Amino acid sequence: MIALLQRDLALSVRAGGGFGLALVFFLIVVTLTPFAVGPDSAILAGIAAGILWIGALLSCLLSLDRILALDYEDGSLELLATAPIPLEAVASVKALAHWLTTGLPLTLVAPVLGVLLNLPGPGYFWLTLSLAIGTPALSVIGTFGAALTVGLKRGGLLLSLIVLPLYVPTLIFGAEVARRGAAGMAPTTPLALLAGITLATIALLPFASAAAIRINLR
Amino acid sequence: MSLWEYANPRRFMALSGAVLPWVSVGAIAALVIGLGWGFFLTPDDFRQGSTVKIIYIHVPSAMVAINAWLMMLVTSLVWLIRRHHVSALAAKAAAPIGATMTLIALITGAIWGQPMWGTWWAWDPRLTSFLILFLFYLGYMALWAAIDNPDTAAELTSVLCIVGSVFAILSRYALVFWNQGLHQGASLSMDAEENVADVFYWPLLVSIAGFVGLFVMLVLIRTRTEVRSRRLKALLQRERMA
């Protein structure tokens, strides 16, 4: 499993695996927002937490189809399916690799971009924390979507259509934590619910992902 | 003799063919009576005026929209567990009807909301969760349409339906947490205190029966079409083999 994780990380960092692409996309979304809503810093401060969450979510979406598609095309997914580790573990490791190369960098970059959007002072801590807790769920849900659409020729758009509604609860609680944090209210209730969603998806969704991969490989 | 015998496509076709005319006549009669009674024979509400009559379309379509997804969940589980093809086809047949009902509920709600709340749309938990339900329907149908192999499509959409149900319920409660509602509570419940007044109640029940009957009728027709198109494909393949 560790070997698989190392392989996936190496693949995404080298060979045009899209590492960094999500970060650049995130930066662009944040840069474009003031052009759309105007440079008024009071307005920006009000929506900063939400924009950063939406930006992180969309950046996460960009690299989802890479989680399984390349392995499916060159046949290594079939090798993994016959490997001694269960397919559920493969799905979990794939999600972990995606999080390490997408969710974690996005979380680390988000406070810096918060400066650009005039995020209020107490918001930085809660924004980073909510992203750190919420983005694993995005990766795990995304892996499930990728597993559903891996057999399709042009699954990218369909993948977004399927995955985005599934992101709703995570986004609601995650952005609520950041928004309440930025506004100086107590964010612990949505934080606990967000953590609950993340833990539940990590525990349960790999089974659904593995089932979808098995169906696609048959 | 058990329910599962009707999972055999031939038995299903025979039974559904026999039942379909009765269901159709019943559904149309209930719709005509319910809507006619509701539109022409009930008084206007003293505060809402005649807009209250939207209830006869709004409430039944919303109920059918939710229960159609529930039916798809059950038939998806039946397909995954017992591998009855008719079950998977019924789920496929129900999805566009459910999506249409969701859309009808949203649109009639907007038309009703404009004079009553002064706005076509509000980010109220009920409204928003219906919008999300609509998105789930769209994703589900898109996945069916995208996959060539019918068995693979049935399996993957079943998995999506099950996972989607969990997330749809999660979203529902997340939305209640997220924003306070403008929408009223339940109009119908076992607790008679909460119900709408009797003049509106009975035509509403008949309308609901009509919408449910309409749903059953459409699902049966569409499932029969799917079974026939499956048979046709098999026949064509046999021709080509020979």
pLDDT, tens only, B16-27: 889 999 999 999
3-state secondary structure of A68: coil
Test A166 with B155 for CB contact under 8 angstroms.
Answer: no
The shortest C-alpha distance from B175 to chain A (Å) reads: 8
Cβ atoms of A12 and A18 within 8 Å: the answer is yes
State the pLDDT confidence band at B29, using cuts at 50, 70 and 90: very high
Please state, in angstroms and rounded to a whole number, the distance separating the CA atoms of residues A89 and B124: 39
Nearest chain B residue (CA) to A167: B167
Question: Given an 8 Å threshold on Cβ–Cβ distance, is A172 in contact with B167?
Answer: no
Q: What pLDDT score does B173 carry?
A: 85
Using left for φ > 0, alpha for ψ between -120 and 50, and beta otherwise, residue A167 falls in alpha
Is the pLDDT at B193 greater than 70? The verdict is no
- Determine what percent of chain A falls in helix, strand and coil, rounding each to the nearest 5: 85, 0, 15
Q: Directed axis angle between helix B125-146 and helix A123-149, to 10°? A: 30
Residue B194: predicted pLDDT: 55
> Of B64, B71, B69, B39, which is closest to residue B53 (Cα–Cα)?
B39
Task: Answer yes or no: is pLDDT of A117 > 60.
Answer: yes
Closest residue in A to B134 (Cα–Cα): A165
> Does residue A185 have a pLDDT over 70?
yes
Using the predicted structure, report yes or no on whether residue A2 has a pLDDT greater than 90.
no
Instruction: Give the model confidence (pLDDT) of A88-105 as tens digits.
Output: 998 999 899 889 888 898
- Interchain pair A193, B171: CB under 8 A: no
pLDDT at B197: 67
Buried-exposed string A74-83: b where 16+ CB fall within 10 A, e elsewhere: eeebeebeee
Q: The tokens of A57 are what? A: 């979510």
| B151-163 pLDDT, tens digit each | 888 989 999 999 9
Return the structure tokens found at B56: 């006869």
Cα–Cα distance measured from residue A49 to residue A118, given in angstroms and rounded to the nearest whole number: 10
Phi, psi of B47 (to 5 degrees): -105, -40
Amino acid, res. B82: R
The residue ranges of every structural domain in chain B are 23-241
Closest-CA distance, A140 to chain B, in angstroms, reads 13
Please give the average per-residue pLDDT across A30-39, as a whole number.
88
Residues of chain A in Cβ contact (below 8 Å) with chain B: 144, 148-149, 151-152, 155, 158, 161-162, 164-166, 168-169, 172-173, 176, 190, 193, 197, 205, 208, 211-212, 215-216, 218
d(CA A94, CA B194): 50
How far is it, in rounded angstroms, from Cα B54 to Cα B50? 8
Residue B223: which pLDDT band, with cuts at 50, 70 and 90? very high
Question: A193–B136: do the CB atoms touch at under 8 Å?
Answer: no
- From chain B, the residues in CB contact with A172 under 8 A are 171, 174-175, 177-178
**What pLDDT does residue A42 have?**
84
Mean of pLDDT values over B199-224: 90
User: Which chain B residues contact residue A218 at CB under 8 A?
Assistant: 152
Confidence of residue B41 (pLDDT cuts 50, 70, 90): confident
pLDDT value of position A18: 65
What is the rounded distance in angstroms from the CA atom of residue A93 to the CA atom of residue A25?
24
Q: Which residues of B touch A (CB under 8 A)?
A: 132, 135-136, 138-139, 142-143, 146-147, 152, 155-156, 159-160, 162-164, 167, 170-171, 174-175, 177-178
Span B189-197, average pLDDT: 57
Tell me how close the Cα of A166 comes to any Cα of chain B, in angstroms. 6
pLDDT exceeds 60 at position B190: no
Q: Please tell me the predicted confidence (pLDDT) of residue B161.
A: 93
- Whether B5 has a pLDDT exceeding 60, the answer reads yes
Q: Can you give the pTM of this predicted structure?
A: 0.88
Judged by CB atoms closer than 8 Å, whether chains meet at B143 and A158 is answered as: yes
B63 to chain A, closest Cα gap in Å: 21
Q: Read off the pLDDT of residues A138-174 as tens digits, 9 standing for 90 and up.
A: 999 999 999 999 888 777 788 989 999 999 999 999 9
Q: Minimal CA–CA distance to A142: which of A127, A128, A172, A162?
A: A162
Predicted confidence (pLDDT) at residue B15 exceeds the cutoff of 70:
yes
Is A143 strand, coil or helix? helix
Residues in chain B with CB shorter than 8 Å from the CB of A168 are: 132, 167, 170-171, 174
Q: Is the pLDDT of residue B192 over 60?
A: no
The pLDDT confidence band at residue A15, using thresholds 50, 70 and 90, is low
At A83, the amino acid letter reads A
CB contact under 8 A, A148 and B136: no
Q: Which residue from A minimizes the CA distance to B129?
A: A168
* Chain A interface mutation, best of B130, B155, B170, B180, highest count of A Cβ atoms under 10 Å: B170
- Whether the per-residue pLDDT at B1 is higher than 70: the answer is no
Which of B167, B173, B175, B180 to probe by mutation at the A interface, max A CB count within 10 Å?
B167
Nearest to B135 among A151, A165, A208 (CB): A165
